[in-house]
Structure 1
Amino acid sequence: MASAPEAAAPARWLKVLAFGAIYIIWGSTYLAIFIAIETLPPFLMAGLRFLLAGVALYAFARLSGTPAPKIIHWKSTALIGALLLLIGNGAVVWAEQRVATGIAALLVTTVPLWVVLLQWWGPAHKKPTLGVVLGLAIGLAGMVVLVSPWEISGGIDLWGGGAIFLAAGAWAMGSLYSASAQLPASPILTTGMQMLCGGALLLLTGTLTGEWQTTNWSEVSERSWWAFGYLVVFGSLVAFTAYSWLTRVAPPAQVSTYAYVNPVIAVLLGWGFAKEEITSQTLIAAALLVTAVALITLKAKR
């Protein structure tokens, strides 16, 4: 008779599918965003995406018997939603009007660098290990190579690149805050609330910037609507569910590998489907940034 731990162990094929989901689906969302905002306004598109996904997750959690959240939970998730989705995701969506999808994905890999700096310079004064410092140095070198003025071919829009870099900082800040914030016990309910709050803020931003008036909705392409649906169903629901499950059945170091697989997937998809050029400079920057994230992930203190 199998022991309890063995009986509870997940099937290997399930873990393979889940890792495939967070590797490929999350890596492909950069291309999907690019296609969606070809004819859809960026902030309204992102807002509707997260509102729809948030409603689905919130309803699922409540119908499954999860207790209703408290006011303090809504306050916490509203702040997290503002940092992660309004700034963290909204700035990336806006910037993809000016920056190639592969470049956007590479710039997003600076999130771990931001986490190290925020923990080091923040109230906790958490000094990084030597391995993490090395990873930080390599990551900064990768940033210099990626956005330097002496690029080999083409150019990187500094406004777009700067927006994504700051978005990565907001994502890191929101992630750190969520570790100590008062949140519901259910991660599904928590994420649904974050998406509802972040989606509402993105819709408000789109409204204030006049996107309702400047968008000709009758001219939105079928291609953009399909990309939008992909982002809602696969990017926000399927991949998130897989990620949540993996955090419970796989070691954190394994789960976090998505951070340096996603940009590789994004660069390849941008090259294959959006005709984005892969220069030697991009490859060098990608190698440096992926190495930096790997070092920071593996060498960080628990």
Structure 2
Amino acid sequence: MQAITSPATTTPNRITLWSALTSVYILWGSTYLFIHFMTERMPPLYMASIRYIVAGSILYGYARLTGTKRATRAEWKSAGVVGILLLTIANGCLTVGIQYIPTGVAALLGGMLPVFLLTLNWVSFGRQRPTNLALAGLIVGLVGIYFLIKPDKMQGTGGVHANLIGAGLITFGNFSWAIGTLLAPRVSLPSGTISSGIQMLVGGTVLLIISLCVEPVTPWSILDAPAKAIGSMFYLVIFGSIIGFSSYAWLARNASPQLLSTYAFVNPVVAMLLGALFAGEIFSSQSLIGAIVALIGVILITLGRK
């Protein structure tokens, strides 16, 4: 959710390193299931907006109370744009997409983010040609996506059209997330915690405005939410947005990019297992083959980065 700084020159404590990795592996992998629980009986965009407004308020307030200087107007604008790309569009699409396809499939499609980063950095932002290994990974990843979302094979919740809608939303969300990720280092952002808080506040507020226009809610609908939705939302606020992100931000400063990127391989596995155990999700053999092929593609892309 922010520009990644260069890794620290000192070697981090191995216990701290693996604790942070485990946090990102498990907590971020579990967010797909809890998004599903949060939106079972509540409008998805509305619940996502409340999640980010609450988390953003906590992060922004913490940053200011601990002495972080106030962001300038230019920094607010830049962080707001990144927040809209990452949270309003990308996570908004994910939250709605999970209403149509299993959470494990959604996580696997989300794990294909390196495909979009590689392609956009090649054709637009960086004008940097990928290595041959990364290109091979791109092709393999696209083949995996085809088998994963092939309409006559994927077991979704509402038939062929629902599968395509869900996959299309998450794919578009990946595209927006990739743009936001590549844009972040090129704009003026405030320091880490306050930048994340601003991104969540702006992204959540825009998402709330959209929700009020298209969903049957009012700003106070959260008072009518069932206990399961409220509990899931606070899980996502604390463990997904605050602890999970803090672990990710620490890893971005202290771990190699290759090690950090392994979360893209582990999160889908965690999401698939949790979805099968707690949400009764079923995957066809074709979808599982597609999942394996897609993950191989992501691994090749990661290994092939310059």
TM-score category, normalised to shorter length: over 0.9
Corresponding residue to 2:68 among 54, 63, 66: 66
Structure 1 unaligned runs (5+)? 1-7
Structure 1 residue 160: deviation in Å?
1.3
**Matching residue's letter, 2:253:** R
Equivalent position to 1:245, from 245, 250, 253: 250
Aligned residue number for residue 3 of structure 1? none
For structure 1, which segment, 164-173 or 285-294, has the greater mean C-alpha deviation from structure 2 after superposition? Answer: 285-294
Residues 147 and 290 in structure 2, CA contact (< 8 A), matched pair in contact too? yes
Q: Which residue, out of 56, 61, 78, partners 2:58?
A: 56
State the distance in 2 between where 1:243 and 1:153 align. Answer: 32
Q: CA distance change for structure 1 residues 217 and 74 in 2, over 3 Å: closer, same or farther? A: closer
- Inter-partner Cα distance in structure 2 for 1:221 and 1:21: 27
* 1:122 and 2:124 aligned: yes
CA deviation vs aligned residue, 1:248-290 (integer Å, no higher than 9, x gap): 2211111111011101110111001100012211211111111
The answer for the alignment partner of 2:165 in structure 1 is 159
**DSSP 3-state at the match of 1:75:** helix
Name the amino acid aligned to 2:270.
Answer: I
TM-score (norm 2): 0.91
Q: 1:23 aligns with which of 25, 28, 50?
A: 25
1:223 CA drift (Å): 1.4
Runs of 4 or more above 4 Å deviation: 152-156, 213-219
Mapping of 1:1-302 within 5 angstroms?
Answer: 9-122=11-124, 124-151=126-153, 155=159, 157-184=163-190, 186-212=191-217, 220-301=225-306
Shift of 1:176: 0.3
Alpha carbons 1:40, 1:215 under 8 Å: kept: no
Aligned-partner SS, 1:191: helix
Q: TM-score, normalising length from structure 1? A: 0.92
Displacement after TM superposition at 1:221 (Å): 2.1
User: 1:159-200, CA deviations, whole angstroms, 9 ceiling, x for partnerless residues?
Assistant: 11101100000000100000211111x211111111111011
Distance 1:222 1:140, change over 3 A: same
1:204-243, Cα deviation, whole Å (9 max, x unpaired): 1111113315997675321111111100110000111111
Q: Which runs of 5+ in 2 are unaligned?
A: 1-9
Contact 2:153 2:284 in 1 (8 A): no
Q: In percent, how many aligned pairs have the same letter?
A: 40
In the TM superposition, residue 152 of structure 1 has moved relative to its aligned partner by: 6.7
Tell me the C-alpha RMSD between the 2 structures. 1.8
Q: C-alpha distance in 2, partners of 1:169/1:76? A: 19
User: Contact (CA 8 Å) 1:46, 1:199: kept in 2 or not?
Assistant: yes
Within 1, Cα distance between the matches of 2:71 and 2:297?
38
Shift, 1:123, TM fit: 5.0
Letter in 1 for 2:167: G
Which amino acid is the alignment partner of residue 50 of structure 2?
A: L
